[in-house]
Structures are given as structure tokens and as C-alpha cells.
Structure 1
Amino acid sequence: MAVRADRGRRALDTGRGTRRAQRAAARLARGEVSSIRFGVSELPPEGIPDAAFLDSLVEQGHRAIELPFTKDFPWKEKRCEEFGTLAAERGLRVSVHAPYFAGLTIPDEDRGRQSLAAIEHTMKLGRSLGAPVVVVHLGSRYDEDPGVLLDRIRGRLTRLEEKVSGMGVALGLETAGNRSQFGTLGDIALLASEFGFVRPVIDWAHIHAMTGGGLADPAAFGAVLEFVDASFPGWMTAPLHTQFSDNEFGPSGEIRHTEYGRGTLRVAPLIRAAQEKGVSMVVISESRDAESHERIWEEARPLLEAGVDRSGRPLAASDIDFPRPVTVTRKADRFVPEGLDRPLTLSNVDKVFFPDDGYTKGDLIQYYASIAPVLLSHLEGRPISMSRYPDGLAGGSFYEKRAPGHQPSWMRTVEVESDSMGGVIDFLVADSPEALMWFANMGCIEIHPFHSREGSLDFPDYAIFDFDPSEGATWDQVVAAARLLEVALRQLGLRGYPKLSGSRGIHVYVPLDPVHTYERVRRFVGEVGRYLAAANPDDITMEWDKSKRGGKVFIDHNRNASGQTVAAPYSVRPRAGAPVSAPVAWSELGGLANGDVTIANVWDRIARHGDLFAPVIAGGQTLDAAEQMLGIS
């Protein structure tokens, strides 16, 4: 019997765990230990219904489709919405290639504005399609200095970002294939470091041409993948969007696409390299003829179905498409992950931690291994309070602050002065994927870091407004309270960044330079909270006595006291559905609620929006002017 949660956000049924176990067994039998989606660049033929066209792709084994809007815009938004819905129902990932004329390097400003408008329109169509990325060519070099070109591109990306912010569609910059074109992977990495909505798109034929046929074996492809791993944040390349075709090339680069087999580029070495490195990747066949699509797929498919020749099994038991899936080998009653930089042993990975969903301890450990590229920057140098659930949601839980002593020798600790615990104690920190995996193996469903870092432990680098609904308060009241804070912060000249708590409320972080004491930050949050409660007494309260909160939203400014913690961004929360404490944009608050973002779907969100909490890490604010406005001395 199915039970629908509030607003239909999540459907739980008693057979879910069984079905997940069956799908997990099928994954094990297929040896699926890499996450590679193969697809084609193609528009549906005239006269063929979209549903039938997509069904044919699925029957062939494809899991992605790129729509080549390379000459014009053949579809309106309604067609895009309908096509996107059909594709999503079939598990197909949709992307769009923008028109070739829409480059970012064009010197003429009028033509440049037209190009930006075309890119913006393509991204709007991409939004209707549910596409996480729109692919564009950077454009010609025009015999100009690279610095001049980069500055021009920066200016146009700045203007574009203002138009597409919050759209949920990333801009994929494609690698150039000819020396007359601009856009090496290094150029794209530089732009991606400055613009969070930019993603790299590797055209393997272009790389092959620019290296004089250098992509001849798995090692050559692997070197490119290693460069990507070193040059881009992990969340930007989960998955890595790529394109593939055979081509002819000369001293200046690519001359033309050609039928697969006539050139020297082969897909098998790419698949082997990606599998060996555990890369999550989309491979779009950009061949100009159907026969080449088929030949590329015929060569790739057996490798994808066979997986990597490893001795182990997937760590995760669920059918979640985790980036960079981990393989483990059983040794007695323990499991050893393969390919890690630090030695680690896991236990009871098949124990069910989320009974309503069938998620296991192995799924939890895999989640933290996969989210590490995003999460670790938020935990750097911060002592961790362990919130342990050794038996999952069905068992008891407890907090553990002191490093237990049996942690691996490579795990770092930080000394923290604690009056309540009788002096200096060692707290653990998370500075590697392996450390996060160890915490999860200890039953730490959620991660609770300090608000301050090693070297400035007495000075938090953000203030937290914790909007906690009392019994009887509605989600709409929580949202209204947070929105009122947004207005107040703007008036105080401060930036705030909201995230779903993943439990019941909303957390808003105000990034700070580490120059204020905990008491000063706590006082500031309390003073602002009192103003908010005075402005909206029907919905907001600062009342400590729970019995007197009367269906209102409580602002807990004591969360800013020394030693207090809240769940980190991207932390899992110990609730049915395995929800994530997910950063959101202010514009999303009315449309998202706790439980909407989980360990299963957070990946698509990160691919579309990036790390919305990245500005929190940067700090860059003080409370001086705001305190003066509030009359705090």
C-alpha cells in the first residue's frame, strides 16, 4: 500500500526495499562499477513521433540524447517541454548544442549581443527540456591576443550570468578543434574558476586533432581525464560531458568529421580509461551518419556491459547513479575499498540504514565518497562532532566528540579547549574522501562541523540563523520568516545564503571574516532575530519556553555559541528518504521543501546549479557596519 507524503513529494511503499535489492543484484551481476552514459546527437526524423524515437534509443541501449540546434531553433518551448518529459520518463539525459554562430569571442559588439541572445534562448529551451547543460563553441581567435579574448569572454559571460542565474542550466564550453579557434581545456578551466555556471565539454575528436592523433590508447585518454580531475571542482564534472566522432585532421587541427573507422580515433580506449579511473561521463556520438553512430556504439557497448575487470563488488546496494562508484573486496567479515589513496576497512555495508527506502550503510558510505569533491571544502580545518547511528534509523543514536583512538593513523585531529569535557580534547577533521567514508562507516549519518576552523577556533567564519518551526507551525511560515531575513540582511548590507536543514527548518548562513568572537556573532543574530519577531509577531518568536511558542517559527540564536553545530551543507539527515541539507537559491524557497533533495537526486541539482554555498567559504564580510545600524555597541 502506497503512502503519499505532504504535497506528493515522496512516495513510500512497502515493496520498495525489495525492488531495490533486486535491482542491486542485477547491478552486481552486470558488473556495473562505472557511470558512463552513451547517447547520440540527433533530431527526431520527420514523421516519427517523439515517443517512438526515444523508445528506439532506449531499445538500442542509449541513455542520453543531444539535440543539435546548431543552425537555428527548430522547436518552440512547448515542443521542448513535451520532449523533455518523454525523455525523463525513459531515463534519458537531454543536452542541447547551441547554434554554431553563437560564439563568445566575436569582436563586433552588435554581433556579440546577437550571439549572447541566441545562447540565452538556447538555455531557455534547455530549461524547458530539462537539460542540465547547453553546449557552445567559444569561437574564433580572430588573430587576437589570448588575454584580449579572455577579457571579452569574461564580459559576455558576466552579462549572460545575470540573465540565466537560477535557470538550472549550465553553459558547457566545448574544446576547440582547430588552431584558428579559441578554447583549450586550460582556457575553459580558467573561465570555470570565475563563473560557476560554466562546465567543460570535451570533444574527443578535437583533442585528437589538436594533438596530432595523440589519443591512441587508454593512457592518453587517461592523461586528459587526470587533467580534468586536477583542474575542475568535482561537482563540475559529475558527470563529465563529452562528444565523440571520427575525423580527419592536419597540422592546423580538425579538417572534417568522417565515417567511423576511416580516421584513427577509437572509442574503446576512452571507455577503458574512464572505467579504470571511475569517471562519471556522458559520451555523445556526434557522427554525421547513422552507420557511424551504430559502429561506435557496437564497439562501446560490450565494454560498458562488461564493466571493469575487478575482483570486487559495488559498495552501494541501491540503484542510485552515484558519481565515481566505489568497488569493495570482501575480506572475512570486512570490506576493503579498491583504488583509494589511504587504507580503509569497512564493516556491515549491507546493513539497512533507511528501512523505508532500503538504503544501506554502503549507500551512505558511497554517498559521502561521491559528494566529497563538493563537501570537503566546507569542512576544511573544522573539528567534527560525530552524530552516530550504528544501526541506522531503526536504532539509537549518540554524539561523540572526542576522537575514539581507534581511527586510522592517517586521520587528522585538532586540539580544542573544552570546559565541559575537562580540558583539551582531540576532535577529528575530515580532509579527504576516505575520512568522510570512515565517518559514515562509524554510523555518522550526518556531519556536524564547528563554525570555525583550525588556527582561528575562537572566531567563527559565518553566522547562522536557524529557523526552527515549533509544533503547529507551517512550512509557509518558515519560508516567510527566512524571506524577511533576506530583506533585513540586504538593508544591513550583508549577504546570506539559505539551505534546507533537511529536517524541519531552514538555515541561513552569513559568511564572515574570522575576526568576531562567538559571543559577538551570537549577540548579532539574537538582535536581528528580535527585530524579525517584532516585525512579524504572528509567525516568528524568540521565546525560549517551547510551550509559549504557539505555532510560530523559533529563531535559535544559540546555534552560534562556541561548540554548537548544525548539519553541514550536503550532509545527509537521519530521516526517511535520506534527505540532504541542500543549499538553495533565495528564489527557490517557495518551491522546495525539506525532503525534496535526497541522496538520490542531489547530483542533478549540483550539475545544474553548482555549489550554491561556495560564497560562504569565501567570507569577505564583517559585522561592524550592521552592528552600528542596529545600535549594538
Structure 2
Amino acid sequence: MPLLFGTAGVPHASKDRSTAGGVKTISELGLDAMEVQFVRGVKMGETKAREVATMSEALGVALSVHAPYYVNLNSEDKFEDSVKRIVDSVRIGSIFNARSIVFHAAYYQKSSKERVYERVRKGIAKVLEYMEQHGIKTILRSETTGKATQFGELDELLRLSQELENVMPCVDFAHIHARYRRYNSYDEFCEILSKVEDVLGKEALKNMHMHVSGIDYGLKGEKAHLNLEESDFKYVELLKALKDFGVEGILICESPNLEEDAMLLKKTYQSL
């Protein structure tokens, strides 16, 4: 599939604030995709999910899901609840054919990175078991994160993808830039894409799921998302790298102005 552009949630311009209304607005704006935001909890029922499915199929809008923020697979107290939140996202997302389920997997806390990795792997394996039992076909995508305290280095996510079926990374370029205070040039974006290709193969570049926004950051990493033109993020160089690598999939804009930057990204990409 080509590279599709969309927003993290219902566009601001949508008068109908429902998910189905957001899908309709995405199509009217000339965008291609929307990430359904379950970040405060999976509150959508099956009836609404079927309405979303009907709308997205009719308009050709690709959908994904962002699971609740309250996921920490490295917490003994919250482990089962965290797995359930991802499972609930999968269950409802599958009704409207979400291509990917995105989530922030864990915090390191005082654990070693290897211990956290094993707990995250165990949690994801439980979700995959649910998917297999119910015949659900989607991709689980742990997201690259913006702070050193959070599980989500690209190498960790690529390792998960090697070891587990139907698992691939969600590459958030703004988070990577904020976490390391670099990775903000054409060559550095190419470095990221080369690593994905080297580890997972060229076919992985044909099924990418990415987040982009402006970003405010400090010594400890991410502070807040910004609009692209109000940040130092070199989105044009990123888009050039994506085009040169023949990247396909979905690019979701998480800027505060949502559809404005999503349309800017799509228009700029098409002009290259």
C-alpha cells in the first residue's frame, strides 16, 4: 500500500465528535487514515465499532488504535490489568479492522532492562494468545518512547518483532528525537530506517506504522508535543528519507493542531 497520512484521533474540524464522524471528516479533508484513541480507556461498544467499520470501509479510511496509557507490563500489580487493556483494544479494534494496535508497553522503574523486556514479552505473548484463540488478525505495535525511563528503545522493539509473530514497532520519530536529542537529519532518519530493514527485512518498510509531530524536550527527554512549525523537528528531511527508502504504511500526526500538520505532511511528501 502507499504511504497514508492521518491524525491521532478525531480531527478538530469535525463537528461530529464521534469516531465515525471523525472518519468522515478525514475523508473530506483528503487524508487517508485515523488512529482511534482509546488512551483514556476502551469505552467504545461493539455497536459503535460496527458503525465505525461501515464508515471506514465506505470511505476507504485506514484505521489503527492507540491503547490506553494505563499500561505498564513491568508492574506486578498492574500486569494483568495492562494485558486486559491491550486485549480490549484488540477486541474492539478488530471489529473495525484496525490494522495496528499501538501501546506504550512499560516503565523500567528499578528493574534491569532485560527483566523489563522479558515481562513485556510475556504480556504481549498473552495478547497474541487471545488473538489466536479468537481468529483476530492485526499487528501489535509497542511504540518507541520519548524518555529514558520508559521501555521503548528501537532495538528492544525490533527484538520483540524478531521473536514474536504479528509484532512490529510503531516508530515515533519525534519521541526518538526527544529521547536522544539527535536523530533529526536526513542521514539520521536513514539510519533508523536502515536498522529496521537490516533487522526485519525490506518487507517491514512496506508495512510501517509511524508517529510524527513537533516535540519539546530537555535533558530527560520528551516534555510535550508541538506543532511542526513551532519545533526544531526536520520533517521535510524525514519525508525525503521515507520516500527514498520506499516506505509504505501509515503515518499518524500527533501535533496539537492534528489535521493541519497531517495535511502539511501529506502535501510536502507529494511535492518531493
TM value normalised by structure 1: 0.40
- 1:254 equivalent to 2:219? Answer no
Contact 1:260–1:296, Cα closer than 8 Å, also in 2: no
1:113 partner amino acid: E
Per-residue deviation, 1:46: 6.7
For the residues of structure 2 that align with 1:105 and 1:151, how far apart are their CA atoms? 9
Per-residue deviation, 1:50: 5.7
In structure 2, the partner of 1:197 is 166
1:270 corresponds to which of 203, 224, 238: 238
Structure 1 residues 167 and 131, CA gap change in structure 2 (3 angstroms): same
Partner-residue secondary structure (3-state), 1:242: strand
2:82 corresponds to which of 110, 115, 126: 115
Contact 2:208–2:249, Cα closer than 8 Å, also in 1: yes
Per-residue deviation, 1:52: 5.1
1:203 partner amino acid: D
In structure 1, the partner of 2:260 is 294
Contact 1:36–1:304, Cα closer than 8 Å, also in 2: no
Per-residue deviation, 1:53: 3.7
For the residues of structure 2 that align with 1:103 and 1:255, how far apart are their CA atoms? 20
Partner-residue secondary structure (3-state), 2:103: strand
Contact 1:179–1:210, Cα closer than 8 Å, also in 2: yes
2:23 corresponds to which of 46, 54, 75: 54
Contact 1:200–1:237, Cα closer than 8 Å, also in 2: no
Partner-residue secondary structure (3-state), 1:172: strand
Contact 2:146–2:221, Cα closer than 8 Å, also in 1: yes
In structure 1, the partner of 2:140 is 171
Partner-residue secondary structure (3-state), 2:107: coil
For the residues of structure 1 that align with 2:48 and 2:234, how far apart are their CA atoms? 35
1:228 partner amino acid: V
Per-residue deviation, 1:237: 4.3
Structure 1 residues 183 and 48, CA gap change in structure 2 (3 angstroms): closer
For the residues of structure 2 that align with 1:167 and 1:236, how far apart are their CA atoms? 20
In structure 2, the partner of 1:283 is 251
Contact 2:174–2:212, Cα closer than 8 Å, also in 1: yes
In structure 1, the partner of 2:270 is 305
For the residues of structure 1 that align with 2:266 and 2:113, how far apart are their CA atoms? 40
For the residues of structure 1 that align with 2:18 and 2:226, how far apart are their CA atoms? 29
For the residues of structure 2 that align with 1:58 and 1:146, how far apart are their CA atoms? 42
Q: Which structure is larger by alpha-carbon Rg, 1 or 2?
A: 1
In structure 2, the partner of 1:42 is 9
- 1:158 equivalent to 2:140? Answer no
Runs of 4+ in 1 over 6 A off after TM superposition: none
TM value normalised by structure 2: 0.91
For the residues of structure 2 that align with 1:225 and 1:185, how far apart are their CA atoms? 11
In structure 2, the partner of 1:89 is 58
Per-residue deviation, 1:296: 4.8
In structure 2, the partner of 1:206 is 175
**Counterpart mapping for 1:434-583 below 5 A:** none
Structure 2, unpaired ranges of 5+: none
In structure 1, the partner of 2:213 is 245
1:138 corresponds to which of 102, 105, 116: 105
Contact 1:103–1:136, Cα closer than 8 Å, also in 2: no
In structure 2, the partner of 1:561 is none
Percent identity (aligned): 25
- Relative contact order: is structure 1 or structure 2 higher (C-alpha 8 Å, sep ≥ 6)? 2
Q: Which has the higher helix share?
A: 2
Aligned-residue RMSD, C-alpha: 2.0
For the residues of structure 1 that align with 2:40 and 2:167, how far apart are their CA atoms? 22
Structure 1 residues 50 and 188, CA gap change in structure 2 (3 angstroms): closer
Partner-residue secondary structure (3-state), 2:181: coil
Partner-residue secondary structure (3-state), 1:125: helix
Contact 2:143–2:170, Cα closer than 8 Å, also in 1: yes
For the residues of structure 2 that align with 1:155 and 1:51, how far apart are their CA atoms? 34
For the residues of structure 2 that align with 1:117 and 1:233, how far apart are their CA atoms? 31
- 1:63 equivalent to 2:29? Answer no
2:161 partner amino acid: A
Per-residue deviation, 1:97: 0.1
2:180 partner amino acid: T
2:48 corresponds to which of 79, 82, 85: 79
Contact 2:10–2:22, Cα closer than 8 Å, also in 1: no
Structure 1 residues 114 and 50, CA gap change in structure 2 (3 angstroms): closer
Partner-residue secondary structure (3-state), 2:146: coil
For the residues of structure 2 that align with 1:247 and 1:163, how far apart are their CA atoms? 35
For the residues of structure 2 that align with 1:127 and 1:145, how far apart are their CA atoms? 34
2:128 partner amino acid: E
Per-residue deviation, 1:258: 2.1
For the residues of structure 2 that align with 1:114 and 1:227, how far apart are their CA atoms? 33
Per-residue deviation, 1:57: 1.5
Contact 1:70–1:97, Cα closer than 8 Å, also in 2: yes
Per-residue deviation, 1:256: 1.4
Partner-residue secondary structure (3-state), 1:199: coil
For the residues of structure 2 that align with 1:54 and 1:304, how far apart are their CA atoms? 22
Structure 1, unpaired ranges of 5+: 1-33, 308-633
1:153 partner amino acid: V
Contact 2:16–2:22, Cα closer than 8 Å, also in 1: no
